[in-house]
Structure 1
């Protein structure tokens, strides 16, 4: 590797260094050394002649000037021209007069015509203008001090008899004047440093074969303190061939805009280029800086740019799928409501509880309608409504189911006939449902007050900035689903308890299936919601879980009844509604009933080890009646063993006189009653 030596020194020091290098045999040929130096760029303090100084020096005549005014001139003159001036006795530097006289004795008298010119070897020093500026700086500082301390009094006043260096420095730092080029001179920021003024030199060879430094530019500061570089590129020559194009560095090539320099080991002047990372920008020549989350580097990796905000709205593909599914559910719910309204007076619809069924349909509409609220652009309003109605729509549905199954369970609970079941009217059922729903309303209201709805922008990845509702990222939305989950548990319990009810009232299978399916949906969607990193997928998961739950409720609780009403009208009768789908409902006697046919009218009775069951009575009387919901009662028949429907809501006792007697009629009545059951 080629070694490069950079010397920061003036010309005289550099020249001495080169002479010492030659003595050490570093450069064998001075001409080769000069050839190597061709094209060198040098930066030196401003090289400029002081105008008028050459004329002043050329006009000096020690024989015509009084030596007392300039005591150094005589000695300088004698040393320069090797002559002796008449009348110059002693040395100005304090040397003894005898010593000076001994040196002058061998010299001829100075010619009166001698002058300091180029022919005599005179040459102005290039940095003499700095001496002029320094002199002017002190002169201006002392003048400003005199104006402040002496108040215009001529001569030195008492305030300037003794000057502190610190005081003089303060005045020096404030001086401001024009130099010989009419450029402003002032010290930088009061630091005592003069303004930077440099000359840019180029080492060249002239046509005669000589070598010289050519001034090709300069650097200085403008009046406002900004940098001013003047470089005459057309005058610069590089290398021996006289090339004017800038040579390529042999130490390291310039780095691209997205690269930084990496210094080589043991070589601080050379470097290699390194590309900044995908999420980094160039901070300076040697360092890369990481962009914050939500920011990406610009194409040239010079600064970080903020990533545009994205959010789920009605135009998102995921949202379109969810809204299509929800719209289908709304249409099906409305059709179910219309069919229920058109057949509201039929036994199947009455047995299902019309008021609570309508309320359940309203809850389903809320579930489907929530999709359009969830996939809307996040705002404080939409976020608050989503948190409030997310659990409320579930609560409305399952509060109605709990109320319905609880009513049926209380009606068919074994208790004495004389105790009538309370709070089974439609108005009572609506009030109970409202009370159950109000718990969720209170929970959501407290939740909204404790944590007001808001939107926030998050950065799940460096390339994304997503606008979401506050709480959607930490699963706190699931708080509103705790109470509906409790209601689902009660639905399952009451569905099991009412599994022995008559067919028109027995919805145990459907309710249990609805509860189980909802739990399965929650077990599938809740982990997916929590584990999803894509917030669009998380939002759509929340919306789809509501729609699927609504469809499950429609399919399990409404479609079977609609199927009977529309396609099987022959089953939409009181007898069919009261029919048992399982013999487990009406408990039979533990011993087989015995019909006594002996010509007497002692009737039919059943021997039960534990007494007569809930549905068996031993009195021989029948009557007809109906409940408030239109549930059919058995017609008057001649039978000593009959069904007791007093456990239904508002079902009157079957009490009527026996229309006939005899063993044959009693046996036939028992067979008919058995088939009707």
Structure 2
């Protein structure tokens, strides 16, 4: 007979029985009974089992493991005596430490071990235990579920309670890494004392007082609790020993409890008040209900099995009754009656529905049965035939199951698929339940979701939040747990110095940036063609703008330029009409015409700056402006030089008579203008101006303008104009008092003073303005400087020609001179 042995985990705790754990035993017996009664599974083999309890003690764990291997009155290692069947495999234990202690011995004999408790293993440990299988999913899936749960409700500020052991450290390292990746941080990490504290009441009392004081300063509303069955008893002692007045004022919290801690939650409510844990969200090993399991539980009675040493202790503890002396023939007497049934027990004492650990034990038995069946059905080939013939006469070796356990895959009676991954962990996930407590210290677990890594991505984490019953202090409103209030749209987080990254202030997004969602770490830069709105939570497309004729400013400038142009044309016409009069003939008539034409072109050049910039207008804009202004200033300079030469030539014996005439004036105008022309040709030939979009000068608009191409050439043109105007101003100022009836030096001095003043103020004004106002400033400077020259030089002459024509004669001028 083959024996499949199960290794139980501490049915007794601190002098009393944890009645919930007895279901683990019953799930094993139920599975064995099903398999032995099924003709399709192991038809010629009967499974047997032995069950041992290690009482969560290291020495007893080693002892009971040795008993499984070498059972006798006296333990003799490596000798098998009085066996009732060949040991095939071991199922157990619930606690991870006990599982590892068993594995240290079982691995020496290559006996497969299937643990049904949640065991955090590192990959290196997996390699060192090749015959170690886990009937529960990896803790990594649970950690993923915890993070998804916190993200689902927006909880970013949590407290962590973990056992002060290696498993707790392993859990912290794995979870905190995931938390930080998803913007969640822990307010505190409190380590729960190990089991030894439960046996030293003085130390425990001191720890409880410190713990209560610490508990009052928590600001987070979410506590994640991880620990094994026994060390977590401390939290429940804390709940039970908490002063009554503190229980009434203690604020409600949401406890997120891992599967390891859930084992004990289901077992202590009879002796402890669980109201503090109302609304807790627990991760539980996935379970399902095999057909017939509850009917099987209803058949359980105290006299059900003669070899079950746990049943009587369970019955006394669960029903609170007494049984007769075990030395007498077993008959139910005392307070225990034959009407006592498991289904009559309250859920805190015993559940009729199969729990997660029991479901793992049930599946473990079937895994072994199918592996044994596969081994017996195996047909060797090639060299395997020779090897099997050599091994044929030898006893069965448990290590042979290893090959078939790795490949096991079947659907159990509950409809779930059972198989192992590469790390020898059963595939599957965790159920998520909500703990609903009642005043009579009973409770009910409501399934509200699950974590299933084998499901499609959108079904990996499922949670029905509307099914949750929260702690009464929250009044059924969604609990909040954040270190800092959420930063609204238009703001970004600013870390508080010295605090964790979940604690921050909210700062308005800087200029040009937005945040279109809450709790943004960094604001987003708007595209160049967009700008932030007033609230800085969205980008608005910029409007393309240029100085157009439709704008009031454009209309005004165009009107002024047109008016000056018309006046200039009228003056030119008047001068042509009166070309033979002394006032026109004085100071070189052709030079006067040239000056008027250049001033007219200066006025008209402003229209190149108005309207939508194009390739041609941008190419002509600055060079034309520079050329016509240079010609105009050159003409003014030539007029001034003509006045000086005319005065000097009248002196007796002067050699300057030959320079008086048109040649000097023409030479001055041509030479001065050609230098500017050369500068403009170099400018256009190397870095020609072009249409451009200015995206940054003005926040809300895109300025369409002409790019100078070369700023250096632009200011070189202005500098040359400034040089000509300064020379003209200087010469005119020195000649302003020359005794000549036709002396224009005074008017030229005023005109150049206005001209220089306008362009000196132009540079700082131009550099300090943005957008279309830059173009407006340049147009205004052109109109002001040109208008100043025009008015100072020509208005006095026009006044004489129009309003005082009688004075415009040679006789009158000579008389005035006399």
Q: Is 1:34 the counterpart of 2:274 in the alignment? A: yes
Residue 126 of structure 2 corresponds to: none
After TM superposition, give the deviation of residue 209 of structure 1 in Å.
7.4
After TM superposition, give the deviation of residue 576 of structure 1 in Å.
4.0
After TM superposition, give the deviation of residue 257 of structure 1 in Å.
4.3
Q: Is 1:237 the counterpart of 2:475 in the alignment? A: no
Distance 1:51 1:262, change over 3 A: farther
Structure 1 residues 320-329 or 543-552, which shifts more? 320-329
Residue 318 of structure 1 corresponds to: 553
Distance 1:292 1:419, change over 3 A: closer
After TM superposition, give the deviation of residue 397 of structure 1 in Å.
0.5
After TM superposition, give the deviation of residue 281 of structure 1 in Å.
4.0
Structure 1 residues 128-137 or 290-299, which shifts more? 128-137
Residue 561 of structure 1 corresponds to: 797
Q: Aligned to 1:21, which of 207, 225, 238?
A: 238
Using the alignment, how far apart are the partners of 1:373 and 1:192 within structure 2? 82
Contact kept, 8 Å, 2:434 with 2:468, in 1: the verdict is: yes
Using the alignment, how far apart are the partners of 2:668 and 2:366 within structure 1? 103
Q: Is 1:203 the counterpart of 2:203 in the alignment? A: no
Contact kept, 8 Å, 1:276 with 1:288, in 2: the verdict is: no
Structure 1 residues 295-304 or 475-484, which shifts more? 295-304
Q: Aligned to 1:547, which of 777, 780, 783?
A: 783
Using the alignment, how far apart are the partners of 2:673 and 2:520 within structure 1? 66
Which deviations, in whole Å up to 9, do the C-alpha atoms of 1:472-527 show, x marking residues without a partner? 997974331222222223323544458646424x2122212211221222333333
Using the alignment, how far apart are the partners of 1:270 and 1:205 within structure 2? 32
Contact kept, 8 Å, 2:729 with 2:749, in 1: the verdict is: yes
Distance 1:541 1:333, change over 3 A: same
* Secondary structure class of the residue paired with 1:204: strand
Distance 1:23 1:276, change over 3 A: same
Q: Aligned to 2:356, which of 126, 140, 155?
A: 126
Using the alignment, how far apart are the partners of 1:204 and 1:515 within structure 2? 95
Distance 1:224 1:124, change over 3 A: closer
Computed over aligned residues only, the root mean square deviation of the Cα atoms, in angstroms, reads: 5.6
Contact kept, 8 Å, 1:348 with 1:577, in 2: the verdict is: no
Using the alignment, how far apart are the partners of 2:662 and 2:606 within structure 1? 34
Residue 478 of structure 1 corresponds to: 715
Contact kept, 8 Å, 1:35 with 1:240, in 2: the verdict is: no
Structure 1 residues 10-19 or 478-487, which shifts more? 10-19
After TM superposition, give the deviation of residue 347 of structure 1 in Å.
2.9
Which deviations, in whole Å up to 9, do the C-alpha atoms of 1:526-575 show, x marking residues without a partner? 33334x23444333222112112222222222222222222222222233
Distance 1:26 1:452, change over 3 A: farther
Instruction: Show the 5 A alignment for 1:88-237.
Output: 124-126=354-356, 197-205=429-437, 210-220=442-452, 225-226=457-458, 230-237=462-469
Distance 1:247 1:529, change over 3 A: closer
Residue 503 of structure 1 corresponds to: 741
After TM superposition, give the deviation of residue 48 of structure 1 in Å.
2.8
Instruction: Show the 5 A alignment for 1:40-51.
Output: 40-45=279-284, 47-49=286-288, 51=290
Residue 459 of structure 1 corresponds to: 696
Q: Aligned to 1:356, which of 591, 604, 607?
A: 591
Q: Aligned to 2:671, which of 428, 435, 447?
A: 435
After TM superposition, give the deviation of residue 22 of structure 1 in Å.
5.1
After TM superposition, give the deviation of residue 199 of structure 1 in Å.
3.0
After TM superposition, give the deviation of residue 238 of structure 1 in Å.
2.9
- Ranges in structure 1 where 5+ consecutive residues have no aligned partner: 59-74, 84-104, 109-116, 138-151, 159-167, 582-674
Using the alignment, how far apart are the partners of 2:716 and 2:696 within structure 1? 24
Residue 508 of structure 2 corresponds to: 276
Residue 185 of structure 2 corresponds to: none
After TM superposition, give the deviation of residue 391 of structure 1 in Å.
2.2
After TM superposition, give the deviation of residue 346 of structure 1 in Å.
2.6
Contact kept, 8 Å, 1:50 with 1:128, in 2: the verdict is: no
Q: Is 1:387 the counterpart of 2:622 in the alignment? A: yes
Using the alignment, how far apart are the partners of 1:469 and 1:492 within structure 2? 32
Residue 568 of structure 2 corresponds to: 333
* Secondary structure class of the residue paired with 2:777: helix
Using the alignment, how far apart are the partners of 1:118 and 1:292 within structure 2? 67
* Secondary structure class of the residue paired with 2:796: helix
**Greater share of helix:** 2
Using the alignment, how far apart are the partners of 2:426 and 2:536 within structure 1? 38
Q: Aligned to 1:400, which of 619, 635, 645?
A: 635
Q: Aligned to 2:765, which of 528, 547, 551?
A: 528
Residue 488 of structure 1 corresponds to: 725
Contact kept, 8 Å, 2:429 with 2:450, in 1: the verdict is: yes
Using the alignment, how far apart are the partners of 1:303 and 1:220 within structure 2? 39
Distance 1:192 1:520, change over 3 A: farther
Contact kept, 8 Å, 1:501 with 1:580, in 2: the verdict is: no
* Secondary structure class of the residue paired with 2:224: coil
Which deviations, in whole Å up to 9, do the C-alpha atoms of 1:122-160 show, x marking residues without a partner? 8744167789999999xxxxxxxxxxxxxx9889799xx
Distance 1:266 1:409, change over 3 A: closer
Contact kept, 8 Å, 2:239 with 2:273, in 1: the verdict is: no
Using the alignment, how far apart are the partners of 2:445 and 2:477 within structure 1? 19
- Ranges in structure 2 where 5+ consecutive residues have no aligned partner: 1-215, 248-268, 298-304, 314-326, 331-341, 368-379, 387-401
Residue 630 of structure 1 corresponds to: none
Q: Is 1:516 the counterpart of 2:759 in the alignment? A: no
Contact kept, 8 Å, 1:251 with 1:269, in 2: the verdict is: no
Residue 246 of structure 1 corresponds to: 478
Structure 1 residues 561-570 or 28-37, which shifts more? 28-37
* Secondary structure class of the residue paired with 1:526: helix
After TM superposition, give the deviation of residue 464 of structure 1 in Å.
5.8
Using the alignment, how far apart are the partners of 1:157 and 1:491 within structure 2? 119
After TM superposition, give the deviation of residue 211 of structure 1 in Å.
0.8
